[in-house]
Amino acid sequence: MYAPEFDYYRAGSVSEAAGLLRKYPGSKLLAGGQSLIPLLKLRLAAPVAVIDIGRIRDLKGITVKGGTIRVGAMTTHAELAASSELAEQCHALAQAAAGIGDPAVRNRGTIGGNVAHADPASDLPAVLVALEAKLTVEGPDGKRTLDAGGFFQGMMTTALKEHEILTAIEIPAHSKGQGSAYAKFAHPASRYAVIGVAAVVTTSGGKCSAARVAIGGMVPRPVRAASVERVLAGQELSAENIAKAAGQVTESLGNEVLGDIFASEQYRRSVAPVWVKRGLTQAAERAR
Amino acid sequence: MKFPISVTLNGRPYRREVEPRQLLVHLIRDLGGVTGTKIGCDTSQCGACTVLLDGVAIKSCTALAVQADGTSITTIEGLAGDGQLHPLQEAFWNKHGLQCGYCTPGMILAAHELLRTNPQPSDDQIRHGLEGNMCRCTGYQNIIRAVREAAAAMRRKG
Amino acid sequence: MSTRVFGSGIRRREDPRLITGAATYTDDYTLPDMVHMVLLRSPHAHARIKRIDTTRAKAAPGVVAVFIGTDVEGALNPMPCAWLVPNSNLKVAGYPCIAKDMVRYVGDIVAAVVAESPYQATDALDLIVVDYEPLPAVIDPEKAKQSGAPQVHSNVENNVAFHWTVTGGDVDGTFQKADVVIKERIVQQRLIPNAMEPRSALAHWSGASGELTLWNTTQNPHIARFLCSVVTGVPEDKLRVIATEVGGGFGSKIPAYPADFITVFCAKKLNRPVKWTESRRENFQGTTHGRDHIQDVELAATKDGKVLGIKATSYSGMGAYLSTAAPGIPTILHGLMLSGPYDIAAIREDVYGIYTNGTPVEAYRGAGRPEATFILERLMDMLAAKLGMDPIDLRKKNFIPKFENGHTVATGLSYDSGNYAGALQKLVDHVAYKDLRRQQAEDRKKGRYLGIGISTYVEICGLGPSQVAGAVGFQGGLWESAIVRFHPTGKVNVFIGANPHGQGEETTFAQIVAEEIGVDVNDVKVIHGDTQTTPMGWGTYGSRTTAVGGAALVMATRKVKEKAKVIAAHLLEAAVEDMDYKDGKFFVKGSPDKAKTIQDIALMANVAWNMPAGVEAGLEASSFYDPPNFTYPFGAHLAVVELDPETGQIDVRRYVAVDDCGPQINPVIVEGQVHGGVVQGIGQALWEGAVYDENGQLLTGSMLDYALPRADRLPDMEVLSTVTPSPHHPIGVKGIGEAGTIASTAAVYNAVIDALSPFGVQTIRMPVTPERAFNAIQEAKAGRR
């Protein structure tokens, strides 16, 4: 597999990258390359130029400050998976990152590249939606912050405007009594999510005070399962209550459920409650 | 467009002008006649092209040569030191961890990555550590045994 | 020698180069002035080519040449089919190397671009304009046979490439009088072999001498040379095929391929070395697939469980063209094996080989025998369920009793030796079968759904007597060859015609020589894979390398030994008949202290200063071994799977194999062959399967879609064996390359049905994906309501 010709520019800073994007219309940003390079090889993408932002130092790393976790866009999945801070304070993200692709892919792939690519079968979008992450983007008009819920607009489509670059993701660290998890039904070949469920459970006085559930993989963009969240709020986190709440997921899935030769739309709808239950159960365990 | 890069491959420095589109695996295989790094697929699934980039395993078919600029690359040819097989190579040999050998360079380097991050893996962790590398001959079982043996040997060596 | 190397699990001799990256596979070669070829393949499953415009491609940077169908016409002969199954009304349709007027599958070759770099060649490929008129396509072999189906070849009515039958005993009478008849439809889905090394060819033409060297990914370099000569017209004596390192084949590197010969054509035409290496995507489309049978099968039995007859009709998809050995696989290697390890008086199978608009089908590990085993093992379990018998007891009741020298079954084959009950008993004892069943019942009460599946098998391998090969239409011999050559220092080279590519014969064959003539195993180097240095041989497939090639080697080594004895007698001034031999030493009977070692004799034979009268110099011998019969390995496998009833996901929890391949030269290598084979069979049961859409587009066209077994989805396997030597083989060995695959699909499938049976599920399609299992449970529940 041989990619088509393109030019290559290496950006030393976000502003330089933004300038290059403007200068070369039809160019693509290159982060870890784990989504872009396969597309180039298959000649499904043919950018005029590739702008490498993978070396911008400011975009790397995980910092925790005042209850907020800031993850630089060029932080790799391996770094997310290995982070003890994330494991403690934002478990679903670390857990989901640990299940992306395989170790070599995780060493290259970045959270920013993954999220900006917005593949519906990707793991992180649903996780960020459930975690109510804020995404910082920088562009010609300066910086702005977007809710994860609004960032993902459809299959491979985000709220990023032309010449904007995703630079960081901010996530509220778990408070006491809060726990999160990611349950994934992985495709046996691609290992992408056929169904991915990110769940955040907040407990108070032995009951679920709030739950946030986002579904990915089976929908063009992650959806919040408000129907599940509603039913669980205020309930004890018993197996029965979790199962009952999870059973409500269908209502939140909407009309656009994906299907393919491995798992049809009907099947995904049928088993979605099981995966929601599993995500919630794990999150509830971590919340205790 | 050509882009100048410099890389160290198995300890030897190289400077090249490369097309930005050139894959790292093609650069490696073209550089100094070291062809141990294999290409088995085109979708980052099989892991035959696994190499170490600054000591960390990556799939060299899913990296551009320009991205490797300034790095040190280790391929299967660079794993043995001073004519001594690496404990992983020794263990793959001892445990019959290979048959046709095509996946082996990538498999050994993926195992290297596993042991770098987890020197004492359980069998289950070994299996997961090799999830990105495919072998069609061995059914993986002797590979698992080999990695287990290599881990023990490397721990003994310290 | 104190420890016997034969039978010990010594480390492989081939490994040092493989674990260090020093091995050179075809794509690793680069020749001076070499150019790169890429192929334009049809995006349509069936279409008329109306026009091809290569103008822009030819003008693209770095492009050396572009060739289309009309360019190779006359220069490349049509692809031959080499297994012309007799009495089957076989219709071999024209198979051009480059399609000219029609494309018949997605992947059919339409043009070749040669350029200075593969990047440039690929750029130019995008510039070729082909005007296609798409035509209706057909993929399902059963549908393809119906009237009104799209015609893959206009001169092959109803797409029937052949109709072959096997009959033994009174089938109709048996089914009429049977107490019980079991019927099932089995779909042996199309599989994609996916050897890890993509196929590759590098052709070097020496115009001055008219000689051609072809580096090629082939399991059988001598057949490749033979067929290359037929297609390209390069005389066989001036054609050298090199395949010293091949990265797995599993059948897909048996056949001849148009791409290889187009590479040759380009090299001749351009007078430059030309290399072609397929991408994985291309491999999915253009390299042969396996299986693809739709079968209606029936079993007749008495009410106490004695199996009386088997009846089957198979629609076997051949793909768009008949690949080299394709017709023999669903017929000779399948239908004749329908008695399996059982005593069955009446057997009939009708096999329809059907052209479809799919990629051509070939041998894939097991080739015909996994499909035969599956029929029997499935029907056995269904019968057991129907009669309320335990599957183990039912099998024991129907086994052919232990035999050591020949047993003829209803299909006409004469098995060499077998102890089927012995293998099964070993399995039963090892797993403590009754306890396992008890545990299963207890787990089920707790909501855990485990399934236990058994598969017993006998396979035909060690292909085979050449006379039989000829009688069944194989257009070649099936003997093997070996040359054993002693050098003056006592070191040995062995040259073989077969071409191991992972199976380890560089090691096991050295062990054979060590055993036979007492040299150190490290003093033997086995050479294969180069037609210029090795004797003619028919290749490595069908678990035949050790069974046939190993026998050739034994015979050649014994010839050397005979000659050595003559020389030793001369040197010791004794009569030949007074000579004795032990552990590499020749001595006069009763005087072992005054001995000549094989090394002494090798030196003398090579310098020839003092040779017996009439004895030629040199110490080497060759053998061309044509086996008197096939070999018939057998065994019994057990799988334990766990069903997640909520999602339908199935995982293999335990796998136990008992195989009997006769004496084991290297048990570690035998075990490795079983591991790999078992996992390929598990892959068929649970994950693998080619899927086409109604237009003939391959939807599982990459490793992102086609699920190959991975390390994290598999359990450790327990591998055991029994030893029943083949009576006709000089050292009794049978072959082990395919056994695992032959047994494991049925074992896992039976376990899956066992796990699903509490829900009332009796049948399910492979691969058993979570969705299929889930739906089967729902449907069974609904049906019971």
% of chain B beyond a pLDDT of 90: 96
* Angle between helix C505-517 and C550-571 (nearest 10): 30
The DSSP result for chain A, as a single string, is --PPP-EEEE-SSHHHHHHHHHHSTT-EEESS-TTHHHHHHTTS---SEEEE-TT-GGG--EEEETTEEEEETT-BHHHHHH-HHHHHH-HHHHHHHHTSS-HHHHHH-BHHHHHHHT-TT-SHHHHHHHTT-EEEEEETTEEEEEEHHHHEEETTEESPPTT-EEEEEEEEPP-TTEEEEEEEEE-TTT--EEEEEEEEEEEETTEEEEEEEEEESSSSS-EE-HHHHHHHTTSB--HHHHHHHHTTHHHHH-S-----SSS-HHHHHHHHHHHHHHHHHHHHHHH-
Q: Are residues B112 and B133 in the same domain?
A: yes
Which chain B residues touch C501 with a CB distance below 8 Å? 100
The DSSP result for C398-418, as a single string, is HBPPPBSS-EE-TTS-EE--B
Q: How far apart are CA C490 and CA C520, in angstroms?
A: 10
Q: How far apart are CA A238 and CA A244, in angstroms?
A: 10
Task: Please answer whether residues C455 and C750 qualify as being in contact, where contact means their C-beta atoms are separated by less than 8 angstroms.
Answer: yes
Q: C704 and chain A: CB distance < 8 Å anywhere?
A: yes
One-letter amino acid for residue A233 of the chain: A
Distance of CA A80 to the CA centre of its chain: 12
Cβ neighbourhood burial of A287 (10 Å; 0-12, 13-18, 19+) = buried
Each residue of C501-526: b (16+ CB within 10 Å) or e? bbbbbbbbbbbbbbbbbbbbbebbeb
Long-range contacts of the stretch B9-17 (C-beta < 8 A, 24+): B9/B34, B9/B73, B9/B75, B9/B78, B10/B34, B10/B73, B10/B74, B10/B75, B10/B77, B10/B78, B11/B78, B16/B65
Residue C63 tokens read as 């492009």
Residue C89 tokens read as 């009304």
Across the interface, whether the CB atoms of B44 and A1 are under 8 A apart is answered no
Q: Render pLDDT for C264-318 as a digit per residue (tens, 0 to 9).
A: 999 999 999 999 999 999 999 999 999 999 999 999 999 999 999 999 999 999 9
Which chain C residues touch A261 with a CB distance below 8 Å? 691, 699-700, 705
Evaluate the omega torsion of the peptide bond into residue C464 and state whether it is cis, within 30 degrees of 0. Answer: yes
Distance of CA A186 to the CA centre of its chain: 15
Q: How far apart are CA C684 and CA C271, in angstroms?
A: 44
Mutate to test the interface with C, among A2, A42, A275 (most CBs of C within 10 A): A2
Evaluate the omega torsion of the peptide bond into residue C767 and state whether it is cis, within 30 degrees of 0. Answer: yes
Three-state DSSP at C70 gives helix
% of chain C beyond a pLDDT of 70: 99
Q: Render pLDDT for C23-59 as a digit per residue (tens, 0 to 9).
A: 999 999 999 999 999 999 999 999 999 999 999 999 9
Considering only CB atoms, A185 lies closest to which of C118, C123, C647, namely C647
Considering only CB atoms, C647 lies closest to which of A43, A261, A271, namely A271
Q: B98 and chain C: CB distance < 8 Å anywhere?
A: yes
Give ipTM to 2 decimals.
0.98
The whole-number average pLDDT for the span B68-90 is 95
One-letter amino acid for residue C642 of the chain: E
Across the interface, whether the CB atoms of A190 and C705 are under 8 A apart is answered yes
Considering only CB atoms, C679 lies closest to which of B37, B101, B139, namely B139
Predicted local confidence at residue C1, as pLDDT: 42
* Angle between helix B141-157 and C667-686 (nearest 10): 120
Q: Where does the pLDDT of residue C708 fall: very low under 50, low under 70, confident under 90, or very high at 90 and above?
A: very high
Number of A:C CB contacts under 8 A? 56
Q: Are residues B112 and B153 in the same domain?
A: yes
Segments of chain A with pLDDT less than 70: none
Three-state DSSP at C684 gives helix
Considering only CB atoms, C501 lies closest to which of B76, B100, B124, namely B100
In C, minimum Cα distance to A259 occurs at: C771
Q: How far apart are CA C438 and CA C434, in angstroms?
A: 6
Q: Are residues B67 and B133 in the same domain?
A: no
Question: End-to-end distance of chain A based on CA atoms, in angstroms?
Answer: 50
Checking if the pLDDT of C365 tops 50, the result is: yes
Q: Is CATH 3.30.465.10 correct for A57-172?
A: yes
Which chain B residues touch A101 with a CB distance below 8 Å? 44, 132
Backbone region of residue C25 per phi and psi (left: phi > 0; alpha: psi in -120 to 50; beta: other values):
beta
Q: Using CB atoms and an 8 Å cut-off, which of residues 23-62 of chain A contact chain C?
A: 42-43
Which chain B residues touch C24 with a CB distance below 8 Å? 35
Considering only CB atoms, B101 lies closest to which of C30, C198, C502, namely C502
Task: Please answer whether residues C199 and C193 qualify as being in contact, where contact means their C-beta atoms are separated by less than 8 angstroms.
Answer: no
Checking if the pLDDT of C2 tops 60, the result is: no
Q: Render pLDDT for B16-39 as a digit per residue (tens, 0 to 9).
A: 999 999 999 999 999 988 999 999
Q: Which domain holds residue B101?
A: 87-157
Task: Give the domain-ending residue among B53, B78, B103.
Answer: B78
Q: Are residues B8 and B58 in the same domain?
A: yes
Considering only CB atoms, C669 lies closest to which of B96, B123, B143, namely B96
Distances from the Cα of C466 to the Cα of A215, C414, C486, C727, angstroms: 62, 16, 29, 19
Distance, in angstroms, between C103 CA and closest chain B CA? 25
Which chain A residues touch C679 with a CB distance below 8 Å? none
Any chains having at least 3 CB pairs less than 8 A from chain A are B, C
Across the interface, whether the CB atoms of C711 and B41 are under 8 A apart is answered no
Considering only CB atoms, A189 lies closest to which of C646, C705, C775, namely C705
Which chain C residues touch B37 with a CB distance below 8 Å? 21
Task: Give the domain-ending residue among B78, B105, B120.
Answer: B78
Across the interface, whether the CB atoms of B66 and A104 are under 8 A apart is answered no
The whole-number average pLDDT for the span C138-152 is 98
Q: Using CB atoms and an 8 Å cut-off, which of residues 256-285 of chain A contact chain C?
A: 261-264, 267, 270-271, 274-275
Across the interface, whether the CB atoms of A41 and B23 are under 8 A apart is answered yes
Q: Are residues B15 and B73 in the same domain?
A: yes
What residues form DSSP beta bridges with A262? none
Predicted local confidence at residue C579, as pLDDT: 97
Residue C643 tokens read as 């069903």
CATH number of the structural domain spanning residue B73:
3.10.20.30
Predicted local confidence at residue C785, as pLDDT: 55
Q: Which CATH number fits domain C479-625: 2.60.40.10, 3.30.1330.50, 3.30.365.10, 3.90.1200.10?
A: 3.30.365.10
* Topology at the third CATH level for domain C34-364: Aldehyde Oxidoreductase; domain 4 (3.30.365)
Which chain B residues touch A29 with a CB distance below 8 Å? none
Q: Render pLDDT for C378-390 as a digit per residue (tens, 0 to 9).
A: 999 999 999 999 9
Q: Which CATH number fits domain C399-457+630-687+697-784: 3.40.50.300, 3.40.50.1000, 3.90.1260.10, 3.30.365.10?
A: 3.30.365.10
Beta strand pairing call for B56-59 and C492-496:
unpaired
H helix intervals, C324-401? 369-387, 391-398
The whole-number average pLDDT for the span C609-637 is 97
Q: Using CB atoms and an 8 Å cut-off, which of residues 120-139 of chain B contact chain C?
A: 123-124, 126-128, 130-131, 133-139
Mutate to test the interface with C, among A267, A269, A278 (most CBs of C within 10 A): A267
Q: Are residues B32 and B96 in the same domain?
A: no
Across the interface, whether the CB atoms of A189 and C123 are under 8 A apart is answered no
Backbone angles phi, psi at C654, to 5 degrees: -150, 145
HSE at residue B24, side-chain half, CA atoms within 13 A, is 29
Q: Is the dihedral of CA C465, C466, C471, C472 positive or negative?
A: positive
Checking if the pLDDT of B158 tops 80, the result is: no
Q: Render pLDDT for A121-166 as a digit per residue (tens, 0 to 9).
A: 999 999 999 999 999 999 988 999 999 999 999 999 999 998 999 9
Q: How far apart are CA C531 and CA C240, in angstroms?
A: 6
Say if A7-52 and A57-172 have the same CATH topology: no
Across the interface, whether the CB atoms of A54 and B67 are under 8 A apart is answered yes
Q: Are residues B71 and B97 in the same domain?
A: no
One-letter amino acid for residue A6 of the chain: F
Residue C507 tokens read as 């090691």
Across the interface, whether the CB atoms of B34 and C21 are under 8 A apart is answered yes
Considering only CB atoms, B20 lies closest to which of A6, A82, A103, namely A6
Please name which of C450, C307, C455, C304 lies closest in space to residue C392, comparing C-alpha atoms.
Answer: C455
Task: Give the domain-ending residue among B50, B78, B106.
Answer: B78
The DSSP result for A51-83, as a single string, is EE-TT-GGG--EEEETTEEEEETT-BHHHHHH-
Across the interface, whether the CB atoms of C279 and A1 are under 8 A apart is answered yes
Checking if the pLDDT of C557 tops 50, the result is: yes
Q: Where are the domains of chain A?
A: 7-52, 57-172, 178-287
Tell me the pTM: 0.98
Q: How far apart are CA C303 and CA C307, in angstroms?
A: 9
Across the interface, whether the CB atoms of A37 and B64 are under 8 A apart is answered yes
Across the interface, whether the CB atoms of B41 and C672 are under 8 A apart is answered no
Q: How many residues does chain C have?
A: 785
- A178-287 maps to which CATH number? 3.30.390.50
Task: Please answer whether residues C67 and C266 qualify as being in contact, where contact means their C-beta atoms are separated by less than 8 angstroms.
Answer: yes
State the total domains in chain B. Answer: 2
Q: Are residues B61 and B99 in the same domain?
A: no
Considering only CB atoms, B63 lies closest to which of A1, A101, A108, namely A108
Contacts of B107 by beta carbon, 8 Å cutoff, 6+ apart? B47, B50, B92, B97, B98, B130, B133, B135, B143
Q: C276 and chain A: CB distance < 8 Å anywhere?
A: no
Considering only CB atoms, C774 lies closest to which of A43, A189, A270, namely A270
What count of other Cβ atoms lies within 10 Å of the Cβ of residue A206? 9
Contacts of C608 by beta carbon, 8 Å cutoff, 6+ apart? C617, C618
Q: How many residues does chain B have?
A: 158
Strand order in the sheet with A68-72: A62-65, A68-72, A165-172, A134-139, A142-147
> What residues does CATH 3.30.365.10 cover in chain C?
34-364, 399-457+630-687+697-784, 479-625
Q: Are residues B68 and B108 in the same domain?
A: no
Task: Please answer whether residues A111 and A124 qualify as being in contact, where contact means their C-beta atoms are separated by less than 8 angstroms.
Answer: yes
Q: Are residues B101 and B68 in the same domain?
A: no
The DSSP result for B86-128, as a single string, is PHHHHHHHHTT--SS-SSHHHHHHHHHHHHHH-SS--HHHHHH
Residue A81 tokens read as 């998976």
- CATH class given for the domain over A7-52: alpha beta
How many DSSP H helices and E strands does chain B contain?
5, 5
Q: C771 and chain A: CB distance < 8 Å anywhere?
A: yes
Q: Are residues B46 and B113 in the same domain?
A: no
Q: How far apart are CA A2 and CA C204, in angstroms?
A: 24
Predicted local confidence at residue C3, as pLDDT: 67
The DSSP result for C453-512, as a single string, is EEEEEE--BS---HHHHHHTTBSS---EEEEEEE-TTS-EEEEESS--SSS-HHHHHHHH
Of A127-131, B1-5, C452-456, C779-783, which gets the smallest average pLDDT?
Answer: C779-783
What residues form DSSP beta bridges with C63? C115
What count of other Cβ atoms lies within 10 Å of the Cβ of residue B81? 9
